[in-house]
Amino acid sequence: LSFSILRSRAVICDRVISRPPRKMASHIVGYPRMGPKRELKFALESFWDKKSSADDLQKVATDLRHSIWKQMAGAGIKYIPSNTFSYYDQVLDTTAMLGAVPERYNFTGGEIGFDTYFSMARGNASVPAMEMTKWFDTNYHFIVPELGPSTKFSYSSRKPVSEYKEAKALGIETVPVLIGPVTYLLLSKPAKGVEKSFSPLTLLGDILPIYKEVITELKAAGASWIQFDEPTLVKDLECHQLEAFTKAYTELESSLSGLNVLVETYFADVPAEAYKVITALKSISGFGFDLVRGTKTLDLVKSVGFPAGKYLFAGIVDGRNIWANDLASSLSTLQALGAIVGKEKLVVSTSCSLMHTAVDLINETKLDSELKSWLAFAAQKVVEVNALAKALADQKDEAFFSANAAAQDSRKSSPRVTNEEVQKAAAALKGSDHRRATNVSARLDAQQKKLNLPILPTTTIGSFPQTMDLRRVRREYKANKISEEEYVKAIKEEINKVVKIQEELDIDVLVHGEPERNDMVEYFGEQLSGFAFTVNGWVQSYGSRCVKPPIIYGDVSRPKAMTVFWSKMAQSMTARPMKGMLTGPVTILNWSFVRNDQPRFETCYQIALAIKKEVEDLEAAGIQVIQIDEAALREGLPLRKSEQAFYLDWAVHSFRITNCGVQDTTQIHTHMCYSNFNDIIHSIIDMDADVITIENSRSDEKLLSVFREGVKYGAGIGPGVYDIHSPRIPSTEEIADRINKMLAVLETNILWVNPDCGLKTRKYAEVKPALTNMVSAAKILRTQL
């Protein structure tokens, strides 16, 4: 008898153990697809290089998807996303789903295969790629759909359905994610030929039937939720754009019936007007809001209210950063929301897809344990979301919460984070605007007396080709395989080579070529205090490309000079002016994971002060021209107009801080690698640089239109005369033609002649003839002026 009791107990125990744990209301917006060690990148590149088959690529992709789903299921997440994997880009996937392939790719129908898909993404031997642009204010780039009145739509990629089924076959129920129809159209551009006359939004009625087909198939496959990402809802939309949301989700209503529908927004607050419009939609059962960047969401929900019976997906775990969540503080925000919308209608979520953060802290072998305790990458954020959901359901994991609280405390009080002196110096900067004493035209005169440059002076942007040898030297030095002496010798030889080449080409203002730099931010971050570096903290930038942003965890200071040694050495090799080459504070900030315990501008001011010291040391070392690159200044521009002026103000101020102390005769250059700056031209002028070099040739010289329209520009300006992103060698005539176009709108005496950007990704076989033609074009035009 006792035996059988024991047995039946064991059975009961077994049942208790094997019953799946009750899933708390937790949700993940999306997950990185590159893999913890960039497995997808390597699989893609090997496939593109024809070193592996489509099957091999698919196998890697399948394994990645499975492990991500299993990991989320294992962590207890209730609403797990599917269709957030992509071979290249989720917007391109939507283009494929809709069959909206531009004509030049000769797509003839059926299911879109790798050939057409990757041709659109990367171009092929005969057709160039589609345009790529930044995804909202992130460093991720998507493939811009090209739509026109004659675009034909057809359901051409069943990926959303097959991913859903694939997860289901593993026993994992998922929420299929689609880019919402309105966001898709608002991110599209009019096709060639109808640029001025066509608005893609007018195609709404044409794409909805395909969305309906997808929805129907998902329903048939058993889906009970569907997620539409509609992040454009956070932007300043016009009335007719907002109306499109009502139109779309009303028209989809009958297809959606029987499904729970989540409309997900991210990257900022949803403006009150848009909030009212979408929360009034009957077909939608849940709304996702970003509570990290959207600091006004809680007030909005409080003041406007929230529709009864609907779900609020609260994006409280930051998808854009690498910091561990402050769980106690999040829990109290969630409780406040729960009191309004009802606890059973509140779902804990991430602020946006986790694809904008690093993948897994577990692979960080070089960070110390204290710093690691302050961090959470995607895998850790999934656990945080679940811990918060459990706590809301009165199943708080006390141990997990108290470990988190201890880590938060240690971060707040750590001497590694705070440097009183830096804090004080940065605080003292507010209020004043730090301008050079003399105006720019007087400065240019003073500089010209010293530099004695010809009209249309020629220069380059900084880097010269980075050869395999060069990369090897840097790697070996880093790994202590060669001595400092050997390293310096190798770099010195390289600089000498680059100087000689430029002298032979007869370029007027030289550069040292940046052979000692791996990356324009990392190089400075490694020498500044307050920065940490990961081994595997990669974030997808576009396609197979990833970046590894440094982590700014503490007050920033500069223990010693960072570039003076090399710049001085380079200047000693030539009688021509040698540009000192620095990365600006705003770019360092925007290309890093930034601390979240002080406003961004404070961190930026600290970096500005460090760069200022470097500028002054360069000047003292006899460097007469100093370039401070602000490649990423525009990238940090907030999505909402109401916030842009404040950002531009402190960003431009930070730049001026770096160089307000130099003499009139020291020439300050800056460089930007994009030209869509027409809307921020006044801020660019306000940077008060002596010379700006800027990307121009790729964007149909859009840049020049601002001057054509009458904006007065008095400082030196060098709109790029040829595209360095392509191996093509521009002819002398072509470059001369470009310069002539510039001369039509800009004064002769302020115009510089230079390429679009740095040359580091090019080969010498391309760079030498291209620069030869550039210099001859400048010389020919000089004789004609």
> Quick one: angle between helices 54-75 and 159-169, nearest 10?
60
- C-beta of 508 vs 514, nearer to ligand GLN: 514
| Residue 758 C-beta: closest distance to Zn ion, Å | 6
Eight-state DSSP code of residue 516: T
Residue 563 binds ligand GLN, judged by CB under 6 A: no
| Residue 709 C-beta: closest distance to ligand GLN, Å | 26
Residue 631 binds ligand GLN, judged by CB under 6 A: yes
Residue 757 binds ligand GLN, judged by CB under 6 A: yes
Alpha-carbon dihedral sign for residues 69, 72, 75, 76: negative
Residue 356 binds ligand GLN, judged by CB under 6 A: no
Query: Closest by alpha carbon to 68, among 80, 58, 78, 57?
Result: 80
Contact 191, 147 (CB under 8 A): yes
Residue 581 binds ligand GLN, judged by CB under 6 A: yes
Residue 511 binds Zn ion, judged by CB under 5 A: no
Site for ligand GLN in 513-532 (CB under 6 A): 514, 520
Rounded to whole angstroms, how far apart are CA atoms 351 and 527?
32
Q: How far is CA 316 from the centre of its chain?
A: 20
Contact 574, 499 (CB under 8 A): yes
187: amino acid identity, one letter: L
Rounded to whole angstroms, how far apart are CA atoms 592 and 632?
11
Rounded to whole angstroms, how far apart are CA atoms 442 and 449?
11
Query: Closest by alpha carbon to 199, among 140, 167, 256, 240?
Result: 240
CA angle 446, 452, 454 (to 5 degrees): 120
Query: Closest by alpha carbon to 589, among 613, 606, 577?
Result: 606
Residue 703 binds Zn ion, judged by CB under 5 A: no
Q: Which residues contact 226 (CB under 8 A, 6 or more apart)?
A: 175, 176, 178, 215, 218, 256, 259, 260, 261, 262
Residues annotated as catalytic (active site), given as ranges = 725
How does DSSP assign 55-111, residue by residue? Answer: HHHHHHHHHHHHHHHHHHHHHT-SBEEES---SS-HHHHHHHHHT---GGG---SSS
| Residue 464 C-beta: closest distance to ligand GLN, Å | 8
Which of 80, 203, 281, 673 touches Zn ion (CB under 5 A)? 673
760 binds, among ligand GLN, Zn ion, none (CB under 5 to 8 A by kind): ligand GLN
- C-beta of 294 vs 580, nearer to ligand GLN: 580
Let me know if 156 is exposed, middle or buried by CB neighbors in 10 A (0-12, 13-18, 19+).
Answer: buried
Which of 235, 293, 738, 760 touches ligand GLN (CB under 6 A)? 760
Stretch that binds ligand GLN, among 264-272, 294-302, 651-659, 753-761 (CB under 6 A): 753-761
Rounded to whole angstroms, how far apart are CA atoms 592 and 547?
10
Residue 629 binds ligand GLN, judged by CB under 6 A: yes
278: amino acid identity, one letter: I
- C-beta of 93 vs 756, nearer to Zn ion: 756
Query: Closest by alpha carbon to 285, among 307, 262, 264?
Result: 262
Contact 551, 534 (CB under 8 A): yes
Stretch that binds Zn ion, among 166-174, 254-262, 309-317, 756-764 (CB under 5 A): 756-764
By three-state DSSP, how is residue 600 classified? helix
Name the strand (E) or helix (H) holding 776. helix 764-784
- C-beta of 436 vs 671, nearer to ligand GLN: 671
Binding mask 592-631 for Zn ion (x = CB under 5 A): ---------------------------------------x
> Quick one: angle between helices 39-48 and 54-75, nearest 10?
170
Which of 671, 698, 738, 762 touches ligand GLN (CB under 6 A)? 671
Residue 692 binds Zn ion, judged by CB under 5 A: no
- C-beta of 330 vs 693, nearer to Zn ion: 693
| Residue 254 C-beta: closest distance to ligand GLN, Å | 50
- C-beta of 208 vs 673, nearer to Zn ion: 673
Looking up tokens 């440059």, which residue turns up? 453
- C-beta of 165 vs 671, nearer to ligand GLN: 671
Residue 543 binds ligand GLN, judged by CB under 6 A: no
Stretch that binds ligand GLN, among 113-121, 365-373, 528-536, 756-764 (CB under 6 A): 756-764
Eight-state DSSP code of residue 285: -
- C-beta of 101 vs 767, nearer to ligand GLN: 767
Residue 691 binds ligand GLN, judged by CB under 6 A: no
| Residue 582 C-beta: closest distance to ligand GLN, Å | 9
462 binds, among Zn ion, ligand GLN, none (CB under 5 to 8 A by kind): ligand GLN
Which of 112, 172, 300, 673 touches ligand GLN (CB under 6 A)? 673
Site for Zn ion in 355-384 (CB under 5 A): none
Rounded to whole angstroms, how far apart are CA atoms 477 and 736?
43
Which of 172, 757, 774, 775 touches Zn ion (CB under 5 A)? 757
Residue 65 binds ligand GLN, judged by CB under 6 A: no
| Residue 671 C-beta: closest distance to Zn ion, Å | 6
706: amino acid identity, one letter: V
Q: What share of the chain is helix, strand, coil (3-state, %, to 5)?
A: 45, 15, 40
Residue 633 binds Zn ion, judged by CB under 5 A: no
- Chain position whose Cβ is nearest to Zn ion: 673
327 binds, among ligand GLN, Zn ion, none (CB under 5 to 8 A by kind): none
Q: How far is CA 560 from the centre of its chain?
A: 30
- C-beta of 548 vs 671, nearer to ligand GLN: 671
Compute and round to an integer the Cα radius of gyration of the chain: 28
360 binds, among ligand GLN, Zn ion, none (CB under 5 to 8 A by kind): none
- C-beta of 293 vs 671, nearer to Zn ion: 671
| Residue 593 C-beta: closest distance to Zn ion, Å | 22
244 binds, among ligand GLN, Zn ion, none (CB under 5 to 8 A by kind): none
463 binds, among ligand GLN, Zn ion, none (CB under 5 to 8 A by kind): ligand GLN
Count of residues engaged in binding ligand GLN, rule: CB under 6 A: 13
Residue 521 binds Zn ion, judged by CB under 5 A: no
| Residue 627 C-beta: closest distance to Zn ion, Å | 11
Site for ligand GLN in 443-472 (CB under 6 A): 461-463
- C-beta of 261 vs 626, nearer to Zn ion: 626
Alpha-carbon dihedral sign for residues 400, 402, 407, 411: positive
Residue 693 binds ligand GLN, judged by CB under 6 A: no
Binding site for ligand GLN (CB under 6 A): 461-463, 514, 520, 581, 629, 631, 671, 673, 757-758, 760
